[in-house]
């Protein structure tokens, strides 16, 4: 488990990094927290010719309030996101999901943008980004573009990012007053990648939840936004049967994979249970909120 030989570069600014990526496209890989990259190097599962270590690039640091959105730079660690009171207050879904991301030691190094770049099908942050319709900012030498998270994840470890591009930041839209969120996942041990999970955003209207964004992850090659969810309105006093039916309808959108965690069909069943429990919990919270008003 020793990495093969590679060239190591540690530019001090973004332009330097983008130049290396441009000049060595396809060969150079960004090194952020290294929590995923270093193991694959050591296991010789990948052998990039060059690593571009971005850890010295100050402009990639920091969480910033941009009004409608919160900016998370490419060097922001999962742990910083988890500890940010700004994030917790304004983007509650992240607060719900972050405790499921790995363990403290990994969160201390691993970056949230790195997780998006990697696009592990079982990772939590890509699912959250899709549920929130976050915007991912990609830079290459001389050009910047912004891609919706809903268009970014394209398949198993496949994203819209080009080889010479880097994620410089992600913009998470802040929660509107009437939005409500839910998150649940099944993993064998705490901190493991999810077997299957759901991330949910909904709008709380009088007596109901609507405008559902329901994302399944873990079971799919990439986070899957349920198309069926959009048309579903859940009455605050709906029965368990209604809820179960709604959950089953949404899981019909899944195309779950068979793997060591189980058969796809098992995951579909488990997703329905997770979703139903999440929605029930959200309805409960919505009811409390209404009574506050």
Partner 1 sequence: MNSGDPRNVPRREAARLVAGKGRYTDDIDAGDVGHIAFVRSPYPHARIDRMNCDAARVAPGVIAVITADDLSAVCKPWETRLALLPTHLSPEQIPLARDEACWQGEAVVAIVAKTRAQAEDACERVEIDWTELPAIADLDSAAAEDAPPVKSGMPNNLGLDHGISTGDPDAAFRDAAAVVEHDFTFSRQTGVTLEPRTILASFDPRVRELVVQHSHQAPHQMREVFSAQLGLPLSAVRVVAPDVGGAFGMKLCAYPDEMAVAAIAVLLGRPVKFCADRLESFVSDNHAREARVRGRLAVDTDGKLLAMDVAVLSGFGAYASHPRGSAGEGLQAVHMIAAPYQLAHYRGRVRGYFQNKVPSGILRAVGQPLACTVTEQLLDLAARKIGLDPADFRRRNYTDADDKPARSAAGIVLSQLSLRRCHDRLLALMNYDGLRRRQTELRKEKCYRGIGFAAFIEQTGVGPQLYGPQNVRVSAQEACRLTVEADGRVRCATSVTDQGQGTRTGLLQILAQELGVAPDTIEIVTGDTQVTPLGGGAWASRGVALGGEATLRAARRLKSNVLTIAGSLLQADPASLQLQGGVVCNAAGLAQMSLADIATTVGFRSHLIPLDDIPDLEVVESFAPRNTPYIAANGIQAAHVEVDPELGTIRVLDFWVVDDCGRVINPMLVDEQIRGGVVQGIGAALYEQCIYGADGQLENGSLADYLVPMAGEMPDIRIAHVETPTAMTTLGARGVGEAGTVGAAAAIWTAVNDALVPLGATVTEQPFTPEHVLDRLALAGDQPRPT
The residues that touch partner 1, with contacts defined as CB under 8 A, are 1-5, 39, 43-44, 186, 188-193, 195, 240, 244, 260-263, 266, 269-270, 272-274, 276
Longest dimension (CA), the chain: 63
As to burial, measured by CB atoms within 10 angstroms (0-12 exposed, 13-18 middle, 19+ buried), residue 33 is buried
Region 13-42 residues binding ligand FAD, contact defined as CB under 6 A: 29-37
- Measured from the CB atom, the residue of 114 and 182 that comes closer to ligand FAD is 114
Q: Tell me the two tokens of residue 267.
A: 């995951």
- Measured from the CB atom, the residue of 49 and 207 that comes closer to partner 1 is 49
Beta-ladder partners of 199:
183, 215
30 binds, among ligand FAD, partner 1, none (CB under 5 to 8 A by kind): ligand FAD
Cα separations in angstroms, 117 against 125, 169, 264: 10, 11, 25
291 binds, among partner 1, ligand FAD, none (CB under 5 to 8 A by kind): none
DSSP label at 293?
-
Region 140-159 residues binding ligand FAD, contact defined as CB under 6 A: none
3-state secondary structure of 252: coil
121 touching ligand FAD, by CB under 6 A: no
Q: Tell me the two tokens of residue 281.
A: 């919990």
Site string for ligand FAD, 179-218 (x = CB under 6 A): ------------xxx-------------------------
Q: Which of 41, 74, 91, 243 binds ligand FAD (CB under 6 A)?
A: 74
106 touching ligand FAD, by CB under 6 A: yes
114 touching ligand FAD, by CB under 6 A: yes
> How many residues are given for the chain?
293
Smallest distance from the beta carbon of 114 to ligand FAD, in angstroms? 3
Q: Tell me the two tokens of residue 83.
A: 């500890």
Beta-ladder partners of 69:
173
Within 8 A by CB and 6+ apart from 263, the residues are none
* Separation of alpha carbons 221 and 196, rounded Å: 11
Q: Which residues bind ligand FAD (CB under 6 A)?
A: 29-37, 74, 78, 101-102, 106, 109-111, 113-115, 117-118, 123-125, 166-167, 191-193
């Amino acid at each position: 488990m020793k990495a093969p030989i590679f060239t190591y570069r540690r530019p001090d600014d973004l332009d330097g990094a983008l130049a290396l990526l441009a000049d060595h496209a396809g060969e150079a890989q960004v090194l952020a927290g290294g929590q995923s990259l270093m193991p694959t190097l050591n296991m010789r599962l990948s052998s990039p010719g060059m690593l571009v270590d971005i850890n010295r690039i100050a402009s990639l640091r920091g969480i910033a309030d941009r009004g409608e959105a919160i900016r998370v730079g490419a060097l922001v660690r999962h742990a910083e996101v988890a500890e940010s009171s700004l994030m917790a207050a304004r983007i509650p879904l992240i607060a719900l999901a972050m405790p499921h991301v790995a363990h403290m030691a990994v969160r201390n190094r691993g970056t949230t943008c790195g997780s998006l770049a990697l696009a592990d099908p079982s990772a939590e942050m890509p699912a959250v980004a899709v549920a929130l319709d976050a915007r991912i900012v990609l830079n290459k030498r001389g050009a910047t573009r912004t891609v919706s998270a809903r268009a970014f994840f394209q398949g198993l470890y496949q994203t819209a990012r080009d080889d010479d591009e880097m994620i410089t930041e992600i913009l998470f839209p802040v929660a509107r007053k009437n939005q409500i969120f839910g998150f649940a996942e099944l993993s064998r041990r705490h901190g493991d990648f999810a077997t299957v999970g759901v991330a949910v955003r909904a709008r709380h209207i009088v007596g109901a939840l609507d405008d559902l964004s329901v994302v399944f992850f873990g079971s799919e090659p990439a986070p899957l936004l349920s198309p069926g969810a959009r048309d579903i309105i859940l009455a605050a006093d709906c029965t368990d049967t209604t809820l179960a039916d709604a959950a089953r309808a949404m899981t019909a959108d899944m195309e779950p994979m068979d793997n060591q965690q189980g058969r796809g069909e098992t995951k579909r069943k488990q997703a329905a249970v997770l979703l139903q429990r999440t929605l029930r919990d959200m309805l409960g919270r919505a009811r409390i909120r209404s009574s506050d008003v």
